[in-house]
Amino acid sequence: MKTSHEVDPHSHQHHHKGHTHQFQQDYPDEQQRPSREQLAHINGWGADLDRKDRPAVPMERTPPRFIPEPVGKLPQQPQHVEVLVSTERPGITPIFGTAQPPSGLSGVIRRAAFRWAENDLRHWLLLLAADRVNVVEGVADDLARGKVPNVLGEMGIKSEWQYNKAGLVKKVAIAGAVVGTVAYLMRRKER
Q: Parse the chain into domains and list their residue ranges.
A: 100-149, 151-191
110 sits in which H/E element: helix 104-113
Give the number of other Cβ atoms within 10 Å of residue 156's Cβ.
13
Low-confidence ranges of the chain (pLDDT < 50): 1-16, 21, 23-24, 27
State residue 60's pLDDT score.
65
| DSSP at 63 | S
State residue 11's pLDDT score.
45
Q: What is the pLDDT of residues 31-40, one digit of tens each?
A: 677 887 888 8
Residue count (the chain): 191
Please give the order of strands across the beta sheet that includes 7-8. Answer: 7-8, 13-16, 19-22
Backbone angles phi, psi at 15, to 5 degrees: -100, 125
Q: Cα 89 to the chain's mean position, in Å? A: 24
